[in-house]
């Protein structure tokens, strides 16, 4: 029992991270209250959660707000793009469901697939935004590519993002769980899914940088040789 509560025990090892996730969840929800800033808030959440997953040094509050401020402008642009798309797809789903009297038709399933794809692209967009500096359009394009290249991971990431709110629809008592871990809980599992993908991208970027440095070094050496001649 003493080992469980000791400095190196399970409680000390995972209890602290659980509290970090709860606090991160609160920060994300509070910063998402103005719905237009929710993309920036979720981006900041992913930034911190990857640090937690990789056991990198982090301070929850400082890291969260650093990422939130840094990506606020692009987060607003992303929200302006995805919010109308989400509203349109949600409206289409409701209308097709009502017009078919609860018997889904072809258009309903098309809307479901489109909504799932849009949600997965949104998640990937924010994940990539949390790690890389790029234009909004290029980030969204890369997110679409990620969805197509990693369809299973993308669907799992989307399902994880939706499950807590589906549970809430069926049982309002789940609101306490959502307030504590409804966003950051699924988020850490999403981070586990996309961590390998980002590592591959980072490795590829490092290899390209090393190749460029070697090429530059060779060109410099050739120029020096020509100068000596």
**pLDDT tens figures, 98-150:** 777 667 778 888 889 999 999 999 999 999 999 999 999 999 999 999 999 99
Cβ pair 40, 31 in contact under 8 A:
yes
CA-nearest of 70, 83, 69 to 36 is: 83
Q: pLDDT by residue (tens digit) across 197-215?
A: 999 988 887 777 777 777 6
Domains of the chain, residue spans: 2-206
**pLDDT score at 135:** 96
**pLDDT score at 158:** 96
User: Distance (Å, rounded) from C-alpha 112 to C-alpha 123?
Assistant: 17
Q: What's the pTM?
A: 0.85
83 has a pLDDT exceeding 60: yes
**pLDDT score at 197:** 94
Tokens of 200: 């591959």
42 has a pLDDT exceeding 90: yes
Cα first-last separation, the chain: 77
CA-nearest of 141, 127, 140 to 195 is: 127
Task: Indicate the pLDDT class of residue 224, thresholds 50, 70 and 90.
Answer: low
User: Distance (Å, rounded) from C-alpha 204 to C-alpha 145?
Assistant: 16
**pLDDT score at 168:** 82
**pLDDT score at 39:** 97
Residue 34: phi, psi to the nearest 5?
-75, 110
Task: Indicate the pLDDT class of residue 3, thresholds 50, 70 and 90.
Answer: very low
CA-nearest of 4, 2, 67, 1 to 39 is: 67
Higher pLDDT, 50 or 12: 50
User: Distance (Å, rounded) from C-alpha 64 to C-alpha 47?
Assistant: 7
Round the CA-based radius of gyration of the chain to a whole number and report it: 22
Q: Which residue has the tokens 């098309």?
A: 110
Mean pLDDT of the chain: 86
């Amino acid at each position: 029992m003493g080992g469980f509560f000791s400095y190196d025990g399970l409680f000390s090892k995972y209890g602290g991270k659980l509290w970090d996730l709860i606090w991160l969840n609160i920060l994300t929800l509070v910063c998402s209250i103005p719905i237009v800033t929710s993309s920036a808030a979720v981006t900041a959440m992913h930034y911190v959660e990857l640090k937690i997953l990789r056991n990198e040094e982090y301070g929850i509050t400082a890291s969260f707000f650093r990422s939130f401020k840094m990506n606020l402008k692009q987060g607003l642009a992303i929200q302006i793009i995805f919010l109308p798309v989400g509203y349109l797809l949600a409206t289409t789903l409701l209308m097709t469901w009502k017009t078919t009297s609860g018997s889904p038709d072809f258009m309903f399933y098309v809307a479901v697939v489109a909504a799932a794809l849009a949600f997965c692209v949104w998640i990937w967009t924010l994940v990539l935004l949390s790690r890389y500096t790029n234009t909004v359009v290029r980030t969204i394009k890369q997110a679409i590519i990620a969805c197509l290249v990693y369809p299973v991971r993308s669907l799992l990431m989307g399902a994880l993002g939706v499950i807590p709110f589906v549970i809430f629809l069926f049982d309002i008592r789940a609101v306490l769980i959502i307030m504590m871990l409804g966003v950051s809980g699924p988020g850490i599992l999403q981070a586990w899914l996309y961590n390998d993908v980002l590592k591959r991208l980072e490795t590829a970027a490092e290899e390209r940088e090393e190749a460029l440095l070697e090429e530059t070094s060779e060109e410099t050496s050739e120029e020096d040789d020509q100068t000596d001649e």
